[in-house]
Structures are given as structure tokens and as C-alpha cells.
Structure 1
Amino acid sequence: MTTTPAIELRAHTTLDPVRGDLLDVYAEVRAPLLHLPNYAVHAFGERLDRHGAGPEFTAVLAYVDGQPVGYAYSNTIRHGDRYWQRTTPEPSEEYTGNPVVALKELGVVEAWRKTGTARIIHDALLSAHDDKPFATLMVNKLAGDGAVHRLYESWGYRDLGQSQPSPASPVLTVMIRPTH
């Protein structure tokens, strides 16, 4: 009988110690999309640096045998943040009136997909922000033929609006859920 290797979660509130691991695992997770400008590793690195310098940056990485197999990271957003300014229709003050945790990226390498690893990483990230009433994220509804959007719905997220974070980005669906 073989045993499944244990997943080790590591949480960080600064980017420097994990930037290399985040870039490496991102490149593996997004390999089929790296030819698209918005998904290129250098474009991700630029976003990562910007997010890493943002308020309450938190990253959670999953490791197996010392190698990263998944990650998620977030920032806190507030009323007036460009995240909300780009969301249409404009979200109600119920969502924008208090600081909210914004899940910026979540990815798991192919060998660890459909194992619950993504949910474990997600929940660990949200637990670091249990003082926030809501968590929000953006998803491409076409990703995985809709499977990624459906997965987030199964985790309690619901559609709030749409956003196009940059000219190179597709139009994304903004989703939200309570943190608890």
C-alpha cells in the first residue's frame, strides 16, 4: 500500500521569502497559457510584485517533499480601491464599506488537482483574514470549460459583477462570499 505524501502549508506576509517558489509553481500551473500575454511569467511577476507590496499581503503555499505544489495569495481591499472601481455594476456598500480580503491567485499543479489541495490552501488563506466579513475573487468563466467558476460556487462564492483588470486581461467575473 502506498501512502500519499503529506502536504505542508507555509504562510507568509512578505513576498521576498517565497517569490521564487511562487514564480516556479505559477509557471507549472499555467504552462498551457504562458504564451498569452496576460499569463506570461513576466506579467505574473509584475502583478505579484505589485500585490506583494499591497496592504496585508498574505501567501499560502503547499509543499510536498519540499517542492511547491500549490499556492494562493491575497491582499486587503477597501472602499475606493481600484478593484471595486473596475467592477461593474458598482457593488453595494454592504461589500465595499469594510475591508475585504481579495484572493488574487490560486493554483495547484496538475498532479495535485482534484485532491482537495486547492480548498485546503484557500481555507488557510481565508483563516488568516477572519477579521474581514467577505472574500472576493475574479475568475474567467471560460477557465476549464466553466469548471473553475463552478468550483468557486461550490465553495460559497456568488457572482457580483464583471471586471477587466487590464487591457490584456479577459473580462472576468467578480465573485464574493462571507469569510465564515
Structure 2
Amino acid sequence: MTTAPTIDLRTFTALEAVRGDVLDVYAEVRAPLLHLPNYAITAFGERLDRHSAEPGFTVVLAYADGHPVGYAYGNRIEHGDRYWQRTAPEPAQEYTRRPAAALKEIGVRDEWRGTGTARRIHDAFLAARDESYVTLMVNPAAGDGKVHRLYQSWGYQDLGHSQPSQASPVLTVMVRTAR
């Protein structure tokens, strides 16, 4: 039996001190896609800044030997939020009538994939939340469907589809209970 690698998980509710670390990990994780407008570092940085100003923003970073190896961030979404408005078919009120946590992005450097680091970051993000449900969007083609299947193994179920921007692919919206 192998042991999980030693990482230090740190949770922040403000972006300023760790923005560079998030961008560094993002640039490596998304390197094959950075030429696409939606995945460009500048586009991601703009989304990150916008999301960090929204209610309930939280970012969790994983560090190994003082270097960032992964992150997840998200915020709280309310009934009527554009996140839900762009989801088709319209989600059941069970998910939208109360605030939900929206996991906006998760990324782990290549050498840390398959170590449980992504799940530990995800769980630390949820540990800081008090919403009943958590939702995320995934490109169903990412990793030939591997990422979608990973989220399913974490208890997420498909809820619908969304295209957050014209430059974005159509994403699968998933949801699960937060606990």
C-alpha cells in the first residue's frame, strides 16, 4: 500500500496573496489548450478575478515543499444566478432554491495526478462550505471522458449542459450533495 504524498493544503478567502500561484499551476495544467481563446491565461485571469469578487469565494491550494501543485476555487451561487440561468434543461428547484457552492476550477500538475491530490483539494474546498449542494462544469471530452468519469466517482451526477461564453465549449453541469 502506498501512502498519499505529503502536501500542505491552504484555504484562502481572498485571492491577492495567491493569485500568482494559481496562475502558475493553471498555465502548466492547461498548457495544451492555452492557444484557444477560452483557455488563454489572460482569459482565465479575468475569470479568476471576477469570481474572486463574488460572494463566498474560496480557493484551496496544495503545496509540496513550498511549491504549488494544485488548486480549486469557487464561490456561492444563489437562486437566479446566471450559472443556473445558462444551464439547460432548467435545474430542479431542489438544487437552486437555496445557495449552492459552485466549484469553478480545479487543477493539479501532471506529476501529482493519480495521487489523490485532486480529491484532497476538492474535499478541503467542500470542508470550508455550508451549502447543501455543490455543482461544477466539465468538458465531457476532457481526457477522453476521464475527468467526467472521475467526478462521477466522487458522487457527481449530470444535471444538464451550459456554454458559459461564446469561446467556451459546451460543458456538462454536474451536482452532488456537499457532504
Give the TM-score, by structure 1 length: 0.96
Equivalent residue number for residue 141 of structure 2: 142
Residues 103-126 of structure 1 show CA distances to partners (whole Å, capped at 9, x for unaligned) of 000000000000000000000000
2:152 counterpart of 1:153: yes
Amino acid at match of 2:141: L
* 1:8-87 equivalences in 2 (<5 Å): 8-87=8-87
Distance in 2 between residues matched to 1:28 and 1:64, nearest whole Å:
16
Unaligned runs of 5+ in 1: none
Distance in 1 between residues matched to 2:160 and 2:100, nearest whole Å:
16
Equivalent residue number for residue 117 of structure 1: 117
SS in 1 for 2:45: helix
Unaligned runs of 5+ in 2: none
Equivalent residue number for residue 103 of structure 2: 103
SS in 2 for 1:17: coil
8 Å CA contact 2:23, 2:45 repeated in 1 = yes
After superposing the two structures, state which structure 1 stretch, 116-125 or 28-37, moved more.
28-37
Offset of residue 4 of structure 1? 7.5
Distance in 1 between residues matched to 2:169 and 2:25, nearest whole Å:
22
Distance in 2 between residues matched to 1:6 and 1:117, nearest whole Å:
9
Residues 91-139 of structure 1 show CA distances to partners (whole Å, capped at 9, x for unaligned) of 111000000000000000000000000000000000100x211000000
8 Å CA contact 2:5, 2:115 repeated in 1 = no
Residues 142-164 of structure 1 show CA distances to partners (whole Å, capped at 9, x for unaligned) of 00000000000000000000000
Equivalent residue number for residue 133 of structure 1: 132
8 Å CA contact 1:160, 1:176 repeated in 2 = yes
SS in 1 for 2:17: helix
Q: Which of structure 1's runs of 4+ aligned residues deviate more than 4 A?
A: none
Offset of residue 5 of structure 1? 5.4
Distance in 1 between residues matched to 2:36 and 2:114, nearest whole Å:
25
8 Å CA contact 2:158, 2:172 repeated in 1 = yes
Give the TM-score, by structure 2 length: 0.97
SS in 2 for 1:169: coil
Residues 77-102 of structure 1 show CA distances to partners (whole Å, capped at 9, x for unaligned) of 00000000000000111000000000
Equivalent residue number for residue 166 of structure 2: 167
Amino acid at match of 2:91: P
8 Å CA contact 1:5, 1:65 repeated in 2 = no
| Paired positions, count | 177
Amino acid at match of 1:148: V
Equivalent residue number for residue 88 of structure 1: 88
SS in 1 for 2:18: helix
